[in-house]
């Protein structure tokens, strides 16, 4: 062998090792480019805001299914990856696919579901749920919930890669739900279907609005829905980038995990919380924290991987059920307040105050807890919604809020 051929061979070997190393690293770590491309694609103007039941609905669902097929996922049901459903006059879809990780055995049992809703508000308008109901424009829904779909897809890709290398004890179910914005209709239909087939997952992980990580704070609900939750969250944190967790035990709430919890499935719900662009045309891809999304994906992947470990079985736990659930309604007035859905104390917690709206003009601040409206005490979000539904435009109301253990009396002009 000549010196030249030896050097050439050594260089080629080095390049091959480097390529395989980089490829392997990509399969083990969240790919920010994947996250950004998927999210931006879902916000494309051609999808018209991804409204459930629209002409673009099935096209969006199929695009998600094709990408998951590239990751090695196959349809969970014999009819294909799209789980079609109809509620009254609305027809929409869930994308339901599975990565099968091994043969059934005493150690290999059940599944972990990774879920996120893909629909949004379309063009907005009255009755759509938009906080700018007088503005007819595409509502891209970058954070709500293109971020959740992109993060769940990336988590599923990483888990599938891990399953190819190591033995996992549970199958991985991917679910992108339709018609969440219409009242968690798609997830409810899927949960009912899986219950009838005795195929409910061992754990349902739901990601809804995970694109606006601020100060590393990640909100996690469901820590009381299974016995091992707290230790699981702590152990998984040590293996990933540092996040500051804000946890709550409840398994109920205004997103898709709630319907699975009603079927006695343990759940974990991840979100970075609401913001002033929520349900407006200004929830756009350029405002997403992609590095933050990658940190969340790494964390959720670590959690899901541990749950998929042989012999790990989440043990269901009961949490307090709200006396009633606030239904989506077209109220006559709006204070311009986005709730903090993770708050579980007494009163109604204002997560985000929208600038220029009645609450902001009256001096309400983010984090204020409403304890009374006029002469009526506010025990929780349900009572707040009941009172709000009785108010009329033009009224002047008195609100008492708790801020840093001090009560403040505000006058709000509706």
Q: Which residue has the higher pLDDT, 131 or 59?
A: 59
Q: What is the mean pLDDT of the chain?
A: 88
Residue 201 counted as domain residue: yes
| Residue 408 C-beta-side C-alpha neighbours within 13 Å | 16
pLDDT over 50 (residue 98): yes
- The answer on 255 and 110 residing in a single domain is yes
C-alpha 237: how far from chain center: 19
pLDDT at 385: 84
Residue 166 domain-assigned (yes or no)? yes
Same domain? For 388 and 288 the reply is: no
H/E element, 316: none
Counting residues of the chain whose pLDDT is more than 90, the rounded percentage is: 68
**How many domains would you assign to the chain?**
2
pLDDT band of 153, cuts 50, 70, 90:
very high
- Structure confidence at residue 352 (pLDDT): 83
* For the chain, percent of residues with pLDDT exceeding 70: 88
Q: What is the pLDDT of residue 241?
A: 64
Averaged pLDDT, 95-121: 84
Angle between helix axes 32-42 and 290-307 (nearest 10 degrees) is 110
Between helix 57-70 and helix 32-42 the angle, nearest 10°, is 160
pLDDT confidence tier of residue 399, bands split at 50, 70 and 90: very high
Are residues 235 and 292 both part of a single domain?
A: yes
Angle at 331 between CA 325 and CA 337, to 5 degrees: 75
Residue 354 reports pLDDT greater than 90: no
- Total number of residues shown for the chain: 414
Q: Token pair for residue 83?
A: 């789980």
Whether the pLDDT of residue 10 is over 60: the answer is no
3-state secondary structure 200-222: CCCEEEEECCCCCCECCEEEEEC
pLDDT, greater one: 412 or 325: 412
Q: What is the dihedral of CA 160, 165, 166, 170, to 10 degrees?
A: 20
Q: What is the CATH number of the domain that holds 288?
A: 3.40.630.10
Same domain, 61 and 196: yes
298/352 same-domain check:
no
Between CA 163 and CA 99 the distance in angstroms is: 9
Q: Is residue 127 assigned to a domain?
A: yes
Residues facing residue 74 across a β-bridge: 98
Task: Please tell me the distance from the alpha carbon of residue 235 to that of residue 298, in angstroms, as a whole number.
Answer: 13
Angle, in degrees to the nearest 10, between helices 148-165 and 57-70: 20
Domain C-terminal end among 307, 324, 359:
307
CA pair distance 369, 350, nearest whole angstrom: 6
Residue 322 DSSP class: P
Does residue 226 contact residue 266 with C-beta atoms inside 8 Å?
yes
- Domain range for 242 is 30-307
One domain, residues 353 and 264: no
In a domain, 367, yes or no: yes
**Higher pLDDT residue, 328 or 238?**
238
Model pLDDT for residues 17-44, shown as the tens digit of each residue: 444 444 455 567 999 999 999 999 999 9
Nearest CA among 29, 75, 297, 52 for reference residue 185: 52
Note the pTM of the prediction, 2 decimals: 0.81
State mean pLDDT over 131-145.
Answer: 94
The DSSP string of 64-105 is: HHHHHHHTT-EESBTTBSEEEEEETTEEEEEEEEEE--S---
Phi-psi region of 90 (alpha: psi -120 to 50; beta: other; left: phi over 0): beta
- CA dist 166 and 110 (Å) reads 17
CA dist 13 and 284 (Å) reads 45
Is 351 contained in some domain? yes
- Residues 235 and 299: their CA atoms lie apart, in Å, by 10
Query: Which residues fall within 8 angstroms of residue 182, CB to CB, at 6 or more apart?
Result: 52, 87, 90, 119, 328
Beta strands 376-377 and 217-221 are unpaired
Is the pLDDT assigned to residue 209 strictly greater than 60?
A: yes
**CB-based contacts of 212: which residues, under 8 Å, 6+ apart?**
143, 147, 272, 273, 275, 287, 288, 289, 292
Question: Average pLDDT, stretch 59-87?
Answer: 97
**Predicted pLDDT at 106:** 46
Q: At residue 203, what are phi and psi to the nearest 5 degrees?
A: -150, 135
CATH number of the domain enclosing 383:
2.30.42.10
Do 358 and 243 share a structural domain?
A: no
Please indicate, yes or no, whether residues 246 and 155 belong to a single structural domain of this protein. yes
Residue 105 has pLDDT above 60, yes or no: no
Classify residue 18: in a domain, yes or no: no
Q: Is residue 234 part of a domain?
A: yes
Only one residue has tokens 């995970």, namely 210
CB 214 within 8 A of CB 121: no
Picking from 194-198, 244-248, 330-334, which range would have the lowest pLDDT averaged per residue?
330-334
In this structure, what token pair is assigned to residue 140?
């891209």
Q: What mean pLDDT do residues 297-321 have? A: 91
Among candidate residues 274, 278, 275, 252, the one with its CA nearest the CA of residue 265: 252
**pLDDT score of 329 more than 50:** no
Q: Please report the pLDDT score of residue 208 as a whole number.
A: 97
The pLDDT, as a whole number, for residue 274 is 86
pLDDT of residue 327: 42
Q: Could you tell me the pLDDT band of residue 61, with boundaries at 50, 70 and 90? A: very high
Whether 343 and 298 map to the same domain: the answer is: no
In a domain, 350, yes or no: yes
One domain, residues 97 and 214: yes
Structure tokens at 386: 């009941």
Same domain, 271 and 141: yes
Choosing from 288, 307, 326, the residue where a domain stops is 307
For residue 310, pLDDT beyond 80: no
> What are the start-end ranges of the H helices in 239-331?
257-261, 290-307
Using alpha carbons, select from 254, 301, 281 the residue that is nearest to residue 35.
301
Verify that 74 and 174 share a domain, yes or no.
yes
* Residue 399: strand, helix, or coil: strand
Q: Give me the long-range contacts of 229-232 (CB less than 8 A, separation at least 24).
A: 229/266, 229/268, 229/314, 232/303, 232/306, 232/307
d(CA 142, CA 49): 10
CB 288 within 8 A of CB 212: yes
């Amino acid at each position: 062998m000549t010196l030249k051929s030896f050097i050439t061979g050594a260089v080629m070997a080095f390049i091959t090792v480097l390529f395989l190393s980089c490829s392997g690293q990509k399969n083990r770590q969240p790919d920010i480019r994947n996250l950004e491309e998927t999210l931006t694609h879902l916000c494309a103007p051609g999808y018209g805001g991804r409204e459930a039941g629209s002409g673009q609905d099935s096209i969006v669902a199929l695009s998600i299914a094709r990408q998951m097929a590239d990751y090695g996922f196959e349809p969970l049901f014999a009819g294909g990856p799209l789980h079609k459903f109809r509620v009254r006059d609305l027809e929409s879809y869930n994308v339901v696919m599975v990565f099968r990780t091994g043969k059934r055995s005493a150690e290999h049992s059940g599944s972990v579901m990774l879920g996120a809703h893909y629909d949004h508000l379309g063009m907005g308008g009255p009755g759509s749920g938009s906080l700018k109901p007088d503005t007819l424009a595409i509502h891209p829904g970058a954070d709500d919930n293109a971020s959740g779909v992109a993060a769940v897809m990336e988590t599923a890709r990483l888990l599938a890669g891990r399953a190819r290398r190591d033995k996992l004890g549970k199958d991985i179910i991917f679910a992108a739900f339709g018609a969440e914005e219409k009242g968690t209709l798609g997830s409810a239909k899927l949960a009912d279907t899986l219950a009838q087939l005795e195929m409910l997952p061992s754990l349902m992980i739901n990601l809804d609005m995970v694109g606006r990580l601020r100060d590393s704070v990640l909100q996690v609900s469901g820590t009381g829905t299974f016995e091992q939750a707290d230790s699981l969250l702590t152990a998984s944190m040590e293996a990933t980038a540092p996040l500051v967790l804000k946890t709550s035990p409840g398994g109920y709430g205004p997103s898709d995990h709630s319907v699975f919890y009603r079927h006695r499935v343990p759940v974990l719900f991840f979100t970075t919380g609401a913001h002033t662009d929520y349900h407006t045309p200004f929830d756009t891809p350029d405002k997403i924290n992609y590095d933050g999304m990658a940190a969340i994906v790494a964390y959720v992947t670590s959690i899901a991987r541990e749950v998929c470990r042989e012999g790990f079985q989440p043990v269901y736990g009961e949490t307090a059920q709200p006396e009633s659930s606030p239904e989506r309604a077209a109220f006559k007035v709006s204070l311009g307040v986005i709730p903090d859905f993770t708050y579980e104390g007494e009163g109604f917690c204002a997560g985000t105050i929208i600038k220029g709206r009645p609450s902001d003009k009256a001096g309400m601040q983010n984090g204020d807890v409403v304890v009374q409206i006029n002469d009526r005490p506010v025990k929780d979000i349900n009572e707040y919604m009941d009172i709000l539904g009785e108010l009329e435009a033009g009224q002047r109301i008195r609100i008492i809020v708790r801020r840093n253990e001090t009560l403040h009396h505000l006058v709000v002009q509706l």
